[in-house]
A = this chain, B = another copy of it.
Amino acid sequence: MNIISLTLWTLEHNCYYVYTVLIVFFIGFTVVHKNRLEANLNRTAATKKKLARKWNSGRERDFPDDDDPDHLVPAIPEDTPHVPYKPPQRTDEEILRRSREYYELMAQRRTVRAFSPEPIPDEVLNNIIKTAGTSPSGAHTEPWTFVVVQDQSVKEAIRTIVEEEEELNYTQRMSRQWVTDLKPFATKHIKPYLSEAPALLLVFRQTHSWRADGKKKMHYYSEVSVAIAAGILLAAIQYCGLVALTSTPLNCNARLRELLSRPVNERLELLLPVGRPHQNATVPDLSRKTLSEIMVKI
């Protein structure tokens, strides 16, 4: 009996074992990737809709409920009153002047990798976090926690974790093209700014939370909400006259969450060292895309 016949014979006579292994592997794979696949439902729903119509299969929800649909209560009271909104009215001239002024201020923002160690007044940190907290969020869930680290030993512990993970990222996890594309920025796995900047702002995303009635509160669109809040945080940092480094530490979530005692429903999205620029700070001499490269008017 040659090897091929033996293999075929084994596959035939043990087919139930093989089925079991294939199915278990498939189920295991699906469970492991469940979260990502759920997110993907948004994108595949268009296709599903067409199929559903074709098969005439009636109502079918992509995001099924686990609660009794007869007893659903909104996370925010349904009878929340709507009140008139009267922000200060500005003239066309004022709007134009302010839009120019703001562009000029924001265009000076650069990602900085060398910080002066001067501490940041406490109220300034409070104000920039409060400003980030004014961001819009899916169904007003405000799915963010901002951890502000000024303690030197905690900053050093963060630096150790990030440097260890980044070394693995650069040498093993990221593609060579990615590592090459980062060369002009002179980034490397040694990150002195993590212990030198006066404050580190860690932006955590709450994937969900709990309501007063003990039910799980869903945080719709939490990724985009938290990143928008980070944009407003960066705007506040720039407006007041500080600088930051925007970073998304790859694979540091579990260790930093543990170090900072954050709950399991939180995920680290961004890590921003903040402060004044070091007197010798340099930035790569890059230009930005022109307006015609980023805007289409219709």
Q: Is the CB of B180 within 8 A of A74?
A: yes
Task: Tell me if A265 counts as interface (CB < 8 A to partner B).
Answer: no
A148, B65: Cβ atoms closer than 8 Å: no
A170 vs chain B, min Cβ distance (A): 11
Contact residue among B65, B98, B147, B251 (Cβ-Cβ distance under 8 Å from A296) = B147
List, in ascending order, chain B residues with CB within 8 A of A43's CB: 251, 253
Q: Assess A136 versus B228: contact at CB under 8 Å? Given A85-B277, A175-B63.
A: no
A32 x B12 contact (CB < 8 A)? no
Whether B148 contacts A84 by the Cβ 8 Å rule is no
- Neighbouring B residues of A289 by C-beta, 8 Å: 133, 142
The proximity string for A residues 144-174 relative to B, scoring 1 for CB distances below 8 Å and 0 otherwise, is 1111111100100000000000001001111
**B-side contacts of A294, CB under 8 Å:** 129, 132-133, 142, 144-146
Q: Could you say how many copies of this chain the assembly holds?
A: 2
Among the interface residues A36, A89, A128, A298, which one has the most CB atoms of the partner chain B within 10 A?
Answer: A298
Question: Chain B residues near A79 (CB, 8 Å)?
Answer: 184
Is A81 touching B285 in the complex (CB atoms < 8 A)? Answer: yes
Knowing A124-B96, A241-B98, A289-B142, the reply to whether A33 touches B42 (Cβ < 8 A) is: no
Given known contacts A133-B288, A183-B78, A234-B228, A12 and B11 CB-to-CB distance under 8 angstroms: no
- Complex: how many Å from CA A86 to CA B278? 9
Q: Is the CB of B232 within 8 A of A106?
A: yes
